[in-house]
Amino acid sequence: MSTSTQRNVADLTNWFLNAKRSLNSVTYCTRGNEIITTTRNSLIDASIMSSRASFLQSGIKDELKLLQTANSVMENQRELARKDFQNSLGMLDEADQRLDETLATLRRTEVEGAFSAVEGTGEEGQQRCLYDFVDEDGIENLKSQLKGVIDQVQETDEVFESHLDPFTVLIASITESLSSLSKKSAIPDLVIAIRPSLELMEEHASVMASLLESLAKHYDLCSLALKRAESHDGGIPSQEGDPETEEDIANMLAVLEKDAGEVDDVVNEIKERLDEMEATGILVERTLQDIGDHYRAVLALLEKMHEGQSSLVDCTIQSKDFMQKQNDNQRVIAERLDELQRLTDHYVLFGDAYDALLVEVGRRITVQRQKDAIIQEALAQIDMLNERDLNEREQFRSEYGDFLPSDIWPGLSDPPGAYTVQRMDAWEIPEIKQGVIENAMTRRAAAISSGVRQF
């Protein structure tokens, strides 16, 4: 065997072994196909999650609007009820203050002792006032009823608040979560972003397959050339299709030598493309993780929405109960307020009536004095008439008495008739000082002009 043949056999052997080792790159291609398959399946899953998430997110958004509207209506109902209650409290405070002021006036107004003296009920050393005639139990009972209904209003509001506030907080949480999801990249955009990565992987896999195929061809050619060289060296006849001419052999060796020098580069390229696929796969995996996180967040938000729907049902029931109770409470407050105002009016009129009583006493005193004056004047005139009558009677008897028999008129010598004025019933007028009466008249005039005591 020639030196050239020995060299060729040695080179062919090295090339063959190197080509055989290069075929291990099939594991790179297999791994690349696995990455593509995983990515493709993940893309399908992501597309499904995208459709579901978009549908659910749209439904959650629409349902949230309904919850927000319902919550707003109930909040307005509660606020309106609170305003009505505050207005009622304001009117109650005014009415209560007016009653207290009226009662304070009654405490300061002493009952004239002359009234008790007339009735014979006065106790020595004890001074009464108008407040002594006030029904304290009735006032306390009315105020107790008002306190009870006010407590009921506050309790009803607190019960409704305990249901409505968590519902409001839940809606705020859902709104915030939905807003946070909306600010993030939408799932469809993420799915679209994966497609170029998958296409790039498929391109790498296609090139890797071509490169692996070229390595396989190189291996086959090395194997063929090595067998040809060994057959020539051992006198084995060449197979059909083997290069026979020296020129063919030289050309084949030149190709093998050239390809052998590129085997490592091809293997490295396959490895590099796999590395790129791995890196891209990691990015895709992260994107898929983001899609999954987004989808799970939508599902969690859906659970919150279900909770919100249940809470809405509960709040709706509580709202109806709240409005019914508050309307009933407002009706009771209005009734008690009317009673309080009428009670105050009664005691205002009581104080006014007492002043009127003092004025009436003054009027009666005046009338009695007028009667007494008339009586005294009448008696004086009668006395004058009697005196004149007596003189004329004496003059008549002096002129004609001696000529008239005494039995002709037994009453001829009677004196003039005397008169007395006597009360038919026993009554007395309290001795009220004129200054007290004048003060009462002044108060009544002021009350009438201001309209305070006119109802």
**Does residue 260 surpass a pLDDT of 80?**
no
**Does residue 238 surpass a pLDDT of 80?**
no
d(CA 331, CA 156): 15
Residue 181 lies in a domain: yes
Total structural domains within the chain? 1
Q: How many Cα atoms within 13 Å fall on the side-chain side of residue 232? A: 18
pLDDT level of residue 428 (50, 70, 90 thresholds)? confident
Give Cα 1 distance to the centre of its chain: 104
Residue 387 lies in a domain: no
The reported pLDDT for the residue numbered 171 is 92
pLDDT level of residue 237 (50, 70, 90 thresholds)? very low
Residue 435 lies in a domain: no
pLDDT level of residue 278 (50, 70, 90 thresholds)? confident
Mean pLDDT, the chain, rounded, equals 84
Structure tokens of 118? 């007339």
CB-CB neighbours of 252 under 10 Å: 16
The pTM for the full model equals 0.66
Inter-residue contact 405 to 389 (CB < 8 Å): no
The reported pLDDT for the residue numbered 187 is 54
**pLDDT tens track for 279-328:** 888 888 888 888 888 889 999 999 999 999 999 999 999 999 999 999 99
Domain extent, residue 156, equals: 3-353
The reported pLDDT for the residue numbered 242 is 52
Residue 442 lies in a domain: no
DSSP line for 43-75:
HHHHHHHHHHHHHHHHHHHHHHHHHHHHHHHHH
The reported pLDDT for the residue numbered 448 is 79
Residue 69 lies in a domain: yes
The reported pLDDT for the residue numbered 342 is 95
Inter-residue contact 307 to 228 (CB < 8 Å): no
pLDDT level of residue 418 (50, 70, 90 thresholds)? confident
**pLDDT tens track for 215-236:** 788 777 888 778 877 776 544 4
| Alpha-carbon torsion, ordered 62, 66, 67, 68, to 10 deg | 100
Q: How many helices (H) and strands (E) would you count in the chain? A: 7, 0
The reported pLDDT for the residue numbered 65 is 94
The reported pLDDT for the residue numbered 454 is 43
**pLDDT tens track for 355-390:** 999 999 999 999 999 999 999 999 999 999 999 999
Inter-residue contact 330 to 85 (CB < 8 Å): yes
**Does residue 36 surpass a pLDDT of 70?**
yes
The reported pLDDT for the residue numbered 193 is 67
DSSP line for 113-159:
HHHHHHHT---TT---BGGGGS-HHHHHHHHHHHHHHHHHHHHHHHH
| All residues at 6 or more sequence positions from 130 whose CB lies less than 8 Å from its CB, including other chains | 106, 107, 109, 111, 350, 351, 354
Residue 449 lies in a domain: no
Q: Phi, psi (5° rounding) for residue 121?
A: -110, -5
The reported pLDDT for the residue numbered 1 is 41
Residue 424 lies in a domain: no
Sign of CA dihedral 84, 90, 93, 96: negative
Nearest to residue 273, comparing CAs of 218, 196, 211, 193?
211
DSSP helix, strand, coil percent of the chain (3-state; round to 5): 85, 0, 15
| All residues at 6 or more sequence positions from 277 whose CB lies less than 8 Å from its CB, including other chains | 32, 35, 36, 201, 204, 205
Residue 111 lies in a domain: yes
**Does residue 77 surpass a pLDDT of 70?**
yes
The reported pLDDT for the residue numbered 455 is 37
**pLDDT tens track for 44-62:** 888 888 888 888 988 999 9
d(CA 165, CA 311): 11
| All residues at 6 or more sequence positions from 83 whose CB lies less than 8 Å from its CB, including other chains | none
Inter-residue contact 336 to 146 (CB < 8 Å): yes
